Amino acid sequence: MQLRDQVYVDGTWVPSTGSGVIDVVDASTEEVYGQVADGTADDVDRAVAAAVAAFEGWSQAPRDERLKVMQAVAQGLADRSDDIAETIAHEVGMPVKWARRIQAGLPVANAQAQVQLLSDLETEQRIGSSLVVREPIGVVGCITPWNYPLHQVVNKVLPAIAVGCTVVLKPSEVAPLSAYLFAEVLDEAGVPPGVFNLVSGTGAVVGEAIASHPDVDMVSFTGSTAAGKRVSELAAQTVKRVALELGGKSANVFLDDADFARAVPPGVRHGCFINSGQTCSALTRMLVPRERQAEVVELARQTAESIVLGPAASEESDLGPLVSATQRDRVRGYIQRGIDEGATLVTGGVEPPDGLETGYFVRPTVFADVTKDMTIAQEEIFGPVLVVMPYDDEEEALEIANSTVYGLAGGVQSGSLERATAFARRMRTGQVEVNGGAFNIQAPFGGYRQSGNGRELGPFGLEEFLEVKSLQLPKSKG
CATH of the domain at 305: 3.40.309.10
Cβ pair 322, 366 in contact under 8 A:
no
Res 149: pLDDT: 97
430 and 457 belong to one structural domain: no
Is residue 156 included in any domain, yes or no? yes
Q: How far apart are CA 154 and CA 178, in angstroms?
A: 11
133 and 208 belong to one structural domain: yes
Is residue 423 included in any domain, yes or no? yes
Cβ pair 225, 449 in contact under 8 A:
no
The two most distant CA atoms of the chain are separated, in Å, by 86
Residue 372: name the closest of 331, 341, 350 by CA. Answer: 341
Res 187: pLDDT: 98
Is residue 478 included in any domain, yes or no? no
338 and 406 belong to one structural domain: yes
41 and 21 belong to one structural domain: yes
Number of folded domains in the chain? 2
Helices (H) and strands (E) in the chain, counts: 16, 21
Instruction: Specify the long-range contacts of residues 457-462, CB closer than 8 Å, at least 24 apart.
Output: 457/110, 457/155, 458/113, 458/117, 459/117, 459/120, 459/121, 461/117, 461/155, 461/159, 462/117, 462/118, 462/121, 462/159, 462/162, 462/163
**DSSP helix, strand, coil percent of the chain (3-state; round to 5):** 40, 20, 35
434 and 454 belong to one structural domain: no
Which residues are tagged catalytic? 245, 280
Q: How far apart are CA 183 and CA 84, in angstroms?
A: 12
Tell me the pLDDT tens digit for each residue of 154-166.
999 999 999 999 9
pTM (predicted TM-score): 0.96
Is residue 476 included in any domain, yes or no? no
Task: Identify the segments of the chain with pLDDT beneath 70.
Answer: 477-478
192 and 65 belong to one structural domain: yes
398 and 285 belong to one structural domain: yes
Res 477: pLDDT: 65
Is residue 85 included in any domain, yes or no? yes
Domain limits at 160?
2-246+450-470
223 and 301 belong to one structural domain: no
Is residue 475 included in any domain, yes or no? no
436 and 392 belong to one structural domain: yes
Is residue 213 included in any domain, yes or no? yes
123 and 266 belong to one structural domain: no
CATH code: domain of residue 225: 3.40.605.10
Res 475: pLDDT: 84
Looking at 163-250, list the stretches that DSSP marks H as alpha helix, in order from N- to C-terminal side.
177-188, 208-212, 225-236
Residue 326: CB partners within 8 Å, gap ≥ 6?
none
180 and 261 belong to one structural domain: no
**Within its chain, how far is the Cα of 397 from the centroid?**
27
Cβ pair 245, 454 in contact under 8 A:
yes
Is residue 233 included in any domain, yes or no? yes
102 and 195 belong to one structural domain: yes
Sheet of 218-222, strand order: 12-15, 6-9, 196-198, 166-170, 139-143, 218-222, 241-245, 452-453
Q: How far apart are CA 446 and CA 448, in angstroms?
A: 7
